[in-house]
């Protein structure tokens, strides 16, 4: 049984070859694309379970490709890049990536990141409330539907899992590390920029005034808290 189908997008044929051989050896089906344009064309057909996307490509670059993917799909996207600055990571996450892996990387690290991107957090599958309603926010945790200010809101899987975890712990500050490990997995905990970007994205979608959030508030030096009674 296949562990999942992965689209590898990279303009370097040797990297694509190595990645394909490695991933196939670990049970994944692999398709390839040389450019962002080719990747988007392929996604219009048989949708993979995850995209590994090189950040620096000629023509349509990784960030532009990621934005285009995110406009039409919630498929997990992992950006691969030789750049290792927080600015680059934030730019990738802002573009809609679920994760960011710096080259060169070990295969075990990459496999762990792939598993983390493809999984839903345990808290999103069982336990906790089935629905939530407060003020102008309604959430159905079983169907993963969200309404805010009377309109349907589309959250990516990671954004939804983040929101669910905060709602499940409403009224209590959730530390950064706990939230990262609950949503992304136990291998995470030192990526505070992930939370900053994803919390901001969720706020933009559910808050009437994201600059002065009513629901997801920052607990300085600790983490974030969901305020239910507003």
Domain identity same for 113 and 152:
no
pLDDT at position 120 is 65
Considering 118, 144, 174, which residue would you say is the last residue of a domain?
118
* Residue scoring higher pLDDT (230 or 61): 61
Domain identity same for 73 and 155:
no
Domain identity same for 43 and 129:
no
Of the pLDDT bands very low, low, confident and very high (cuts 50, 70, 90), residue 179 is very high
Domain identity same for 142 and 157:
yes
Domain identity same for 28 and 80:
yes
Containing domain of residue 128, as a range? 122-226
**Residue 227 clears pLDDT 60, i.e. is over it:** yes
Domain identity same for 111 and 176:
no
Domain identity same for 132 and 95:
no
| Average of per-residue pLDDT across 45-51 | 88
Considering 85, 118, 151, which residue would you say is the last residue of a domain?
118
Identify the weakest region by mean pLDDT among 27-31, 65-69, 119-123.
Answer: 119-123
Per-residue pLDDT of 126-140, as tens digits, reads 556 789 998 899 999
pTM of the complete model: 0.87
| Average of per-residue pLDDT across 64-88 | 93
Domain identity same for 11 and 114:
yes
pLDDT at position 3 is 84
| Average of per-residue pLDDT across 154-178 | 94
Domain identity same for 146 and 81:
no
**Residue 174 clears pLDDT 90, i.e. is over it:** yes
Considering 118, 134, 169, which residue would you say is the last residue of a domain?
118
pLDDT at position 128 is 62
Residue 180, domain CATH: 1.10.10.10
pLDDT at position 125 is 46
Domain identity same for 74 and 95:
yes
- Work out how many domains the chain is built from and give that number: 2
Domain identity same for 126 and 209:
yes
**β 137-140/145-148 pair status:** antiparallel
What angle, rounded to 10 degrees, do the helices at 36-43 and 62-72 form? 20
Per-residue pLDDT of 82-125, as tens digits, reads 999 999 999 999 999 999 999 988 999 999 999 999 886 544 44
Per-residue pLDDT of 200-211, as tens digits, reads 999 999 999 999
Rounded mean pLDDT of the chain?
91
**Residue 147 clears pLDDT 80, i.e. is over it:** yes
| Average of per-residue pLDDT across 167-177 | 95
For residues 27 and 43, what is the distance between their CA atoms, to the nearest angstrom?
A: 21
Residue 16, domain CATH: 3.40.50.2300
Domain identity same for 222 and 160:
yes
């Amino acid at each position: 049984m296949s562990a999942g189908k992965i689209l590898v997008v990279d303009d370097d044929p040797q990297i694509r070859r190595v990645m394909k051989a490695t991933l196939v050896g670990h049970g994944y089906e692999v398709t390839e694309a040389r450019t962002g344009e080719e990747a988007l064309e392929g996604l219009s057909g048989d949708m993979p379970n995850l995209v590994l996307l090189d950040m620096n490509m000629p023509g349509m670059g990784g960030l532009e490709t990621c934005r285009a993917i995110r406009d039409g799909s919630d498929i997990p996207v992992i950006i691969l890049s030789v750049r290792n600055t927080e600015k680059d990571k934030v730019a990738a996450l802002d573009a809609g990536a679920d994760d960011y892996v710096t080259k060169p990387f070990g295969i075990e690290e990459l496999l762990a990141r792939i598993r983390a991107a493809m999984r839903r957090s345990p808290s999103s599958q069982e336990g906790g409330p089935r629905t939530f309603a407060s003020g102008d926010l309604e959430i159905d945790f079983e169907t993963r539907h969200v309404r805010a200010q009377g309109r349907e809101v589309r959250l990516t899987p990671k954004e939804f899992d983040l929101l669910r975890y905060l709602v499940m712990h409403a009224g209590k500050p959730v530390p950064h590390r706990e939230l990262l490990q609950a949503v992304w997995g136990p291998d995470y905990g030192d990526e505070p920029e992930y939370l900053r970007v994803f919390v901001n994205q969720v706020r933009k979608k559910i808050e009437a005034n994201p600059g002065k959030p009513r629901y997801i508030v920052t607990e300085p030096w600790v983490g974030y808290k969901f305020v239910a009674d507003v």
